[in-house]
Amino acid sequence: MSDELFVTRGLFGPPGTGDTSGYGGLVSSIALPGAAQRPYGGWFDEVVDELITGLRAREVDPDAALLAVVVDRGELSLTIAREHLPAVAVTLRDEPALRFELCLGVSGVHYPQQTGRELHAVLPLRSITHDRLMRVEVTAPDEDPRIPSLTAIYPTNDWHERETYDFFGIVFTGHPSLTRIEMPDDWEGHPQRKDYPLGGIPVQYKGATVPPPDERRSYR
């Protein structure tokens, strides 16, 4: 797979919104790295091989789960089919030769030009045992923005998934309490998407009161 090229226009704000907060004449060509070819180098081949072996042991087809291996600027990223994300996460966490015990959270990215995979969730994984760092990336389309939650596998992802839902609209299925965490409950839209205007919108805070502690939402 070759590098993916696309062009961005303007520094801030989507076109047609009246947003004047940025310079609209800026044109930038951006290349996203494509899939790498073996040998990947260093310990990357070992990780990919152990993941494939671990998935087969769990009766998961590696070719269906592992969509791409990307090596860019000395870093390893694995693109995973969203339906196989939990199986991949468990394998990366539990296999002795992998032992990525810690997920450092989840970040959202919005690529409107990538039809059918506009929303990306990026999960950095750390192996304390082997002192390694890598990424797992999963995509979903705008019309079906669902990605499995990893809170049962990596409990520290709880608030990170809520934040990514809040700002990008990615729905993490199976999350125990997928509610907004930064924006008010009645906020409309997801402010970090590329199609969300940065200016020229009315203030959406309504009420701006803080209820007594015994009347606030419970997360239990």
CA-angle at 192, arms to 187 and 194, nearest 5°: 120
Q: What is the pLDDT of residues 152-189, one digit of tens each?
A: 999 999 999 999 999 999 999 999 999 999 988 888 88
Any domain includes 42? yes
| Alpha carbon distance 11, 26 (integer Å) | 6
- List the chain pLDDT tens, one digit each, 220 residues: 456 777 766 655 555 655 555 555 667 777 888 899 999 999 999 999 999 999 999 999 999 999 999 999 999 999 999 999 999 999 999 999 999 999 999 999 999 989 999 999 999 999 999 999 999 999 999 999 999 999 999 999 999 999 999 999 999 999 999 999 998 888 888 999 988 876 555 555 555 555 555 665 554 4
Any domain includes 86? yes
Q: What is the dihedral of CA 111, 113, 115, 119, to 10 degrees?
A: 10
Domain assignment of residue 90, given as a range: 34-201
Give the residue among 58, 62, 47 at the shortest CA–CA distance from 96.
47
Any domain includes 140? yes
| Alpha carbon distance 198, 215 (integer Å) | 33
The pLDDT of residue 9: 66
The pLDDT of residue 194: 87
Domain count, the chain: 1
Any domain includes 136? yes
Residue 56: give its domain's CATH number.
3.30.460.80
Any domain includes 139? yes
| Alpha carbon distance 173, 165 (integer Å) | 11
pTM, two decimal places: 0.82
Instruction: Return the half-sphere exposure (C-beta side, CA atoms, 13 A cut-off) of residue 149.
Output: 21
Helix, strand or coil, per DSSP, at residue 121: strand
- Distances in Å between the Cα of 45 and the Cα atoms of 64, 75, 152, 168 are 19, 12, 28, 33
